[in-house]
Amino acid sequence: MSSNNNSFNPTQICNDCQNFISNMLSSIPYFVKIVLCSTVILYLFNFIIPYVGLFLADIPYFTVYKIQLWRLITTPFITTSIFSVIFSIFFWYEKASKLEKEIGTIKYMLIFFMNSLFIQILFCTLMLLLSFIIQSQYPMKMKVTPRGIRNEGIWPILLCDITLLCLSNPNENLKFRFFPCTIKAKYYPLILFLIFTIISGFVIDFENLCGIGFGFLYHYFLKNKLQISNNFASKLGNSFLFRWMKNKKGYVHVGGISTFVLQNNLENERNVNINGNQNSNNSNKGYSAFKGKGIAVGGGNNSSAKNESNRGENSGYTNVTVGSTDEINSSDSRIDLNRSSDPKV
């Protein structure tokens, strides 16, 4: 009696799922992976210990009046809505992975925290002004609700990145998702924010608005002042604070050179040199150098030709230069945050 090869095999399905997740995680660069894992872990922890989100999210009342400045850095990792976790990660990680692979792990990490810092400073400043205008502390404590806190996590940074991408070609016509119309790229972030406001029941999310606002401020006023050079990022990556990251899987060197690409180039160069040695030895066994007299062809003289012949005889291997992506990205150019080869948002 023959067995059915198409029968249901739970073990095989589990192995396939495990391989799929493993391959997906291995394709994600190192810092993006840290952000994704931290977001998911802290979201789950918030169910067990609700005060985790309250302690790490940027609530202007505690940030300004209690001087709890760490909230400016930790707030992107705190998301208290499962929909925010799914959608922010789904829309953010692909573009973030592409950018980290282009400019390097350390440089993208600096840009990520720089954007988060300035967005949250702008948010606290706006809430402080509103509290003075309406003579109430409500804007400073707006994130605290009876059901817990309300924090947007990665969304402000994502909207900032979208704004910078749109402003890199502001007059380009973009097809708006789910709508049969095209709009100018420079208006895309504002229309997107308007749609989010309508969906949320006309509740204005000032933190997301500050993400878009900082994108405009950076593009028009701060671009030349806040750019991070490759040289500075390389020095920081070689410092004792971040040197340990270089051996981590998925780490990308400044300029977009992956650790695995460098290892493969070195391995290929070693193999080619070995093969060159073997080919040179084998060719020397079957043939001998010409001992007679000849005529130099091509404008050279006999002495130079003889020297080149003797040099070839005396060398024990063949020199082969293997091209490396290091040569392409070795310049110390300043990479703009707006650079992207993907015109779609």
Q: Of the candidates 148, 165, 149, 145, which has an alpha carbon nearest to the alpha carbon of residue 157?
A: 165
State which H helix or E strand residue 123 sits in.
helix 105-134
Q: Where in 243-298 does DSSP place strands (E)?
A: 252-253, 257-258
Please give the structure tokens belonging to residue 108. 């993208």
The 10 Å Cβ neighbour count of residue 283 is 10
- Structure confidence at residue 258 (pLDDT): 56
**Is 241 within a domain?**
yes
- Structure confidence at residue 12 (pLDDT): 73
pLDDT digits (tens, 9 = 90+) for 98-115: 999 999 999 999 999 999
Q: Is the CA virtual torsion 174, 176, 182, 185 positive or negative?
A: negative
- Structure confidence at residue 277 (pLDDT): 54
**Is 320 within a domain?**
no
When divided into structural domains, the chain yields a total of: 1
User: Tens-of-pLDDT digits for all 345 residues of the chain?
Assistant: 444 555 656 777 777 667 766 776 778 899 999 999 999 999 988 888 878 889 999 999 999 999 999 999 999 999 888 887 887 778 888 889 999 999 999 999 999 999 999 999 999 999 999 999 999 999 999 898 877 788 888 999 999 999 999 999 999 988 876 677 888 999 999 998 998 899 888 888 999 999 999 999 999 999 889 989 999 999 999 998 898 898 888 899 988 765 445 444 444 545 545 455 555 555 444 444 545 555 444 444 444 444 444 444 444 433 333 333 343 343 333 334 444 444 444
CATH of the domain at 209: 1.20.1540.10
pLDDT digits (tens, 9 = 90+) for 290-317: 455 554 444 444 444 444 444 444 444 3
Please give the structure tokens belonging to residue 275. 């093969």
Side-chain-facing half-sphere of 39: CA atoms under 13 Å: 28
CA distance 121 to 60: 9
Those residues whose C-beta lies under 8 Å from the C-beta of residue 330, and which sit 6 or more positions away, are 255
Which residue range forms the structural domain that includes residue 197?
Answer: 18-260
**Is 88 within a domain?**
yes
CA distance 327 to 42: 41
- Structure confidence at residue 317 (pLDDT): 39
Please give the structure tokens belonging to residue 241. 């604070």
**Is 11 within a domain?**
no
**Is 38 within a domain?**
yes
Residue 152 phi, psi dihedral angles, 5° rounding? -95, -10
Please give the structure tokens belonging to residue 186. 């420079």
Question: Model's pTM, two decimal places?
Answer: 0.70
Residue that is written with structure tokens 């749609």 in the block: 195
Q: In the beta sheet, which residues pair with residue 184?
A: 173
Q: Where in 46-119 does DSSP place strands (E)?
A: none
**Is 231 within a domain?**
yes
Angle between helices 206-217 and 105-134 (to 10 degrees): 120
**Is 86 within a domain?**
yes
**Is 236 within a domain?**
yes
CA distance 93 to 86: 11
